[in-house]
């Protein structure tokens, strides 16, 4: 075991630790929460709210059941557009759910 290296700054270790545990990719995926209105446009953004990203799944709250049905039919298009913005850390699915009022 080689102990001659000396002290290392913690900040220099953080990126490799985040990458090792997949946290870095998850943090990148979470940028979609802020970008959601830009990705879907103001009309859809007015009736939805991107709530969270868990693993490779994006959860989006929808204000009415009618919109929920409509958006579920267009889910593939939204997924492609989201992944276009995320590039190298795609999400695998979007789950739209009815929000509570």
d(C-alpha 2, C-alpha 77), whole Å: 53
Total number of domains constituting the chain: 1
What is the pLDDT, as a whole number, of residue 29?
Answer: 86
The single residue listed with the structure tokens 């943090």 is 27
Residue 6 in any domain: the answer is no
Domain that holds residue 38: 31-98
Tens digit of each residue's pLDDT (9 = 90 or more) over 28-60: 888 999 999 999 999 999 999 999 999 899 999
Residue 8 in any domain: the answer is no
Taking residues 87-94, what's their average pLDDT?
91
Residue 86 in any domain: the answer is yes
What is the pLDDT of the chain when averaged over all its residues?
Answer: 86
Residue 22 in any domain: the answer is no
Backbone φ and ψ for 96, nearest 5 degrees, come out as: -90, 135
- CA quadruple 19, 20, 21, 22: dihedral sign: positive
CATH number (domain holding residue 77): 3.30.300.20
The angle formed by the CA atoms of residues 32, 49 and 31, to the nearest 5 degrees, is 15
């Amino acid at each position: 075991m080689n102990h001659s290296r000396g002290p290392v700054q913690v900040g220099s270790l953080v990126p490799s630790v985040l990458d090792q545990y997949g946290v870095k990719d998850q943090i990148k995926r979470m940028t979609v929460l802020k970008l959601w209105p830009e990705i879907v446009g103001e009309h859809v953004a007015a009736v939805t709210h991107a709530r969270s990203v868990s693993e490779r799944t994006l959860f989006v709250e929808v204000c009415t059941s009618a919109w929920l049905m409509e958006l579920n039919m267009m889910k593939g298009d939204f997924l492609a557009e989201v992944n276009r913005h995320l590039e190298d850390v795609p999400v695998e699915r979007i789950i739209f759910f009815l929000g509570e009022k």
